[in-house]
Chain A
Amino acid sequence: MNASPSHRPHPAEWTETQSLLPSAERDLPAGRHQFHKEQMMARIHEDLRTSSRTSATSAVAPVKRPNPFLRRAILLPAAAFALAGVVVGGLALTGGETDGGKTALATGPALTTTIGVADAKGAPQLLERISLAAADTSAPAPRKGQYIYIASKVADSYIKTVGDKSEAVSDELHSRQVWNSLDGRDGWLIEAGATSDKGITLKSDTPFSGAYDALAELPTDPDALLQRIYRASDAVRDPEVPRDQAAFVAIGDLLTESYPPAEVGAALYKAAAKIPGVVAVDDAVDATGRHGVAIARESDGERTEWIFDKKTLQFLGERVVVVKATAGDPLKVGTVTHTSAITERAVVDAAQQVPGQAS
């Protein structure tokens, strides 16, 4: 320690402070240390993956998607787990991830698209129709012990830095298969580039917020539901993400890789219609090339689009498109930063079982 340059005594020596020392401190509430650490690590890995900003980062090998199940952390580190109000704690996110055992994934030039025309006035009406379609109860309800199976085709764009050269690239479109138990505590994931061909377990002490049981207990009154979504997402939201955007993305997360009961699905769309800034988009194309209409919301120059079949209004997929050039963002307008197309949603009897397979 340096000698204090002052002639005065240090505050610790004042008579006025003697009753205040030694200091009394508290630990963070149970689990919160790990929670915040994981959030920080998610941000760090994400920045390293997408950023070409500083020479400091280029000295480090870009870390590609450290945890495949936390993809949504790209858009919104916190709200990805919004409804449960908890993070997927059991999944290792903390540093030191290896690429061992992952299948290789080629990259190519960044995916681009034409940007559909947004219409704010049309959004409530379109969502009303989508909600009606979602209220169809002909899909079978899962039984205890079964798993929800979601197959999709996905790709992400990011800035790849090699040495001191950076360019926008996209993964090749690849398949992703997720199984989740109804209580959200068990699951399995197979995704090229993220796991081996065999896949990895999604077993966790902290249930997945989009699990069937969690969705089934949500309120079906749109106002109550929206309020709950705001409350949950506020509790964990990344402060840089605007409140309404966080809520919109949180709803999207519950609709994408999930199997909501019909009345809950319908209510989620009605709740989304009440979020300021939500627009209808006349044309959007999903990862497999299917065209449709979209419900979208723009934040920070990027538009998150939920794509629906024009006629049946079934959910086709989701994508994020750069719609405005922002300072410091090297991705060009029209770049698709994330795209996914749901190809199958089903109830199966066990993890790793695909529909149609005998149990």
Chain B
Amino acid sequence: MRTRVRNGDPAAFAELFDECARAVYNHAFRLTADWSLAEDVMSTTFMEAWRRRASVDAEGGSLRPWLLGIATNVARSHHRSNRRYRNAASAAAAAHAAEERVEDHAEETAGRLDDRRRIAATLAALSLLKRPEREVLTLCLWEGMEYTDAARALGIPVGTVRSRLSRARARLRKLTDAQLLEEKREPTRTNRQITGDRGYAVRSAQEGNR
């Protein structure tokens, strides 16, 4: 497969697309919090992959990490600021909530509701992270990549992957704490200490705090 992709065999790209389009699409969604942007990123990613086919190593396993690395770069050029990510995440959360209200609950399977809530939780978690941390966590957690693969896909040293992940973990821990606090109905202490920067206005509106 790698050799065929390197040589520019159209059929190999067709197979690669069928195999990986969905994964790239969902990865792009996690990075952009926007389904339609994710679709753009997905399509650009494959065009880009075609353009860069000569850079594929002849040796190696699945090309999925390579594609996800390209997708990460493409998504980065779309979404520069954390603030924009949070805006998109709250818009997506609102859209998902609306879907939930509109759909006929009698026909709604528990699985789909679960999925929707898990996606909302994913966005909430990713909203807390800075972009570089989000990129690394997305590859390692949902794509199940090892540190070395993530490092190669992003073109960064393994040590950097590790340090980004540990920062991501620290931020997520605060989220878990904050959720516990919320359950105890102490809403005043939610966001300020979590995000660590100034872009939290969107989230607080979403949660109805003053």
Q: Is the Cβ of A59 less than 8 Å from the Cβ of B7?
A: yes
Name the A residues within 8 Å of B114 (CB-CB): 24
Q: Mark A16-28, 1 if CB is under 8 A from B, else 0.
A: 1101110111111
Q: Does B46 contact A (CB under 8 A)?
A: yes
Name the A residues within 8 Å of B140 (CB-CB): 10-12
7 contacts between A and B (CB under 8 A): A10-B140, A24-B118, A36-B21, A41-B14, A44-B8, A44-B50, A60-B10
CB-CB under 8 A for A11 and B8, given A26-B29, A40-B17: no
Q: Is the Cβ of B122 less than 8 Å from the Cβ of A20?
A: yes
Name the B residues within 8 Å of A12 (CB-CB): 140-141, 144
Q: Does B84 contact A (CB under 8 A)?
A: no
CB closest chain-A residue, reference B50 = A44
Interface size class of A (residues with CB under 8 A): 35 or more
Q: Is the Cβ of A94 less than 8 Å from the Cβ of B39?
A: no
Count A-B contacts at CB 8 Å: 129
Q: Is the Cβ of B162 less than 8 Å from the Cβ of A6?
A: yes
In addition to A23-B122, A36-B21, A60-B8, 5 A-B residue pairs with Cβ atoms within 8 Å of each other are A5-B148, A19-B121, A27-B22, A44-B10, A56-B6
Name the B residues within 8 Å of A95 (CB-CB): 10-11, 13-14
Q: Mark A51-72, 1 if CB is under 8 A from B, else 0.
A: 0001011011001000000000
CB closest chain-B residue, reference A36 = B43
Q: Is the Cβ of A20 less than 8 Å from the Cβ of B11?
A: no
Interface residues of B (CB under 8 A from A): 6-11, 13-14, 17-18, 21-23, 25-26, 29, 35, 39-40, 42-44, 46-47, 50, 53-54, 114-116, 118-119, 121-122, 125, 137, 140-142, 144, 146-149, 158, 162, 165-166, 168-169, 172-173, 175-176
In the A-B complex, the 6 residue pairs with the smallest Cβ-Cβ separation, listed nearest first, are A24-B115, A16-B172, A24-B118, A11-B141, A23-B142, A95-B11
CB distance from A91 to the nearest CB of B (A): 15
Q: Does A2 contact B (CB under 8 A)?
A: yes
Neighbour of A54 across the interface among B29, B54, B116, CB < 8 A: B54
Neighbour of B26 across the interface among A25, A36, A59, CB < 8 A: A25
CB distance from A59 to the nearest CB of B (A): 5
Q: Is the Cβ of A57 less than 8 Å from the Cβ of B8?
A: yes
- CB contact list, A12-48 vs B, under 8 A: 12, 14-17, 19-21, 23-29, 32-33, 36-37, 39-41, 43-45, 47-48
